[in-house]
Amino acid sequence: MLNRGLVIVGGGPAGMAAAIAAYEHGAGDILLIERDQYLGGILNQCVHAGFGLNYFKEILTGPEYADRFIKKIKNIRQIEISMRSLVVNLSKDKVLTFLKPGSLNQVQAKALIMATGCREKTREMIHIPGTRPAGIFSAGLAQKLINIEGLLPGKKVVIVGSGDIGLIMARRFFLEGAEVKAVIEIQPKSQGLIRNQVQCIEDFAIPFFCSHKIQRIYGNKRVEKVSVVRVDENFNVVAGSEFDIECDTVLVSAGLIPENELIEMAGVAVDKKTNCPVSQGLNKTLVPGLFVCGNSFKVYDLVDSVSRDSVIAGQLAAEYLKGLK
């Protein structure tokens, strides 16, 4: 079994900022574990601009923002990076088990920072009835297909929910030549940042329906249409307001859920409603020496804020390690 002072799980913006900060605050024996073959996490598929204005005082795309941290972290010898490494177990005494192509590994950590990010809510979680044809994607998956894989997953798109990823994808599909038929939001107003409402929806005159919901998805092999209905202030269906939209694709952009199964395995308390760790302060859990940062601690609107707060996680871990000596 390996032994490390500090182990960080996740090589996205949170994990990288925390690792660098921990090193800068005196931690030396650091292992960062990332399941993908590239560092940067979700930033790599966020090819649009708008990141970094707070943290770097300039406007960057996602990959450029990630690159600032990647360049820095690769120059720090005291941070070992294990790529294509998937953590499958975390024990109460901070032993991590991870799979790497061809091997099963274990590492004993003195301190741990979990920076595992979020998953997207699915169609099932927002309860849309109907058939189960091809053509239903979470917005982030569609973003990956277009920006990373170079595939356009549909030609006539309806987007459910107006979270930022949904708005960004409305614009991306539109620019890629697809027909964006509608964005459907159950709340009375858009859930994303105002500027995304402006530059993704209004710029292209994409139909936007607040206080509406999809009541059924139709289609046998592929999505054929959705039935949309207006809701009142109590989210009850307004009878007689139904209409159909013909489409081949439904994107779900209904929010994110922190991915915290690993800390739950280690017996760390997680709030059942939000899936965030129960905490008595930023990045802290109820277990000493086990920190959580970035979107797995709480869902952030801006990566700039993730970087800012994850620096504090690195600092806390470094201080914890000093206290052990």
Q: Is 205 in the site for other proteins (CB under 8 A)?
A: no
Residues counted in the chain: 325
53 vs 237 by CB, closer to other proteins: 53
Shortest distance (Å) from residue 199 CB to other proteins: 5
51 vs 291 by CB, closer to other proteins: 51
Residue 210 to residue 317: CA distance in whole angstroms: 44
| Helix, strand or coil, per DSSP, at residue 243 | strand
Residue 39 to residue 317: CA distance in whole angstroms: 21
Residue 3 to residue 69: CA distance in whole angstroms: 25
Residue 82 to residue 84: CA distance in whole angstroms: 7
Binding mask 18-57 for other proteins (x = CB under 8 A): -------------------xx-----x--xxxx--xx---
| Helix, strand or coil, per DSSP, at residue 115 | coil
Applying CB under 8 A, which part among 18-26, 132-140, 169-177, 270-278 lies near other proteins?
169-177
Which token pair is 152?
């356009």
**How wide is the angle at C-alpha 276 spanned by C-alphas 273 and 278, nearest 5°?**
95
Position among 29, 80, 176, 179 found at the interface with other proteins (CB under 8 A): 176
Applying CB under 8 A, which part among 19-27, 96-104, 147-155, 273-281 lies near other proteins?
147-155
Residue 315 to residue 40: CA distance in whole angstroms: 21
State the number of binding residues for other proteins (CB under 8 A). 32
Q: Is 175 in the site for other proteins (CB under 8 A)?
A: yes
Would you tell me which residues interact with other proteins (CB under 8 A)? 37-38, 44, 47-50, 53-54, 59, 61-64, 67, 146-150, 175-177, 193-195, 197-199, 203, 301-302
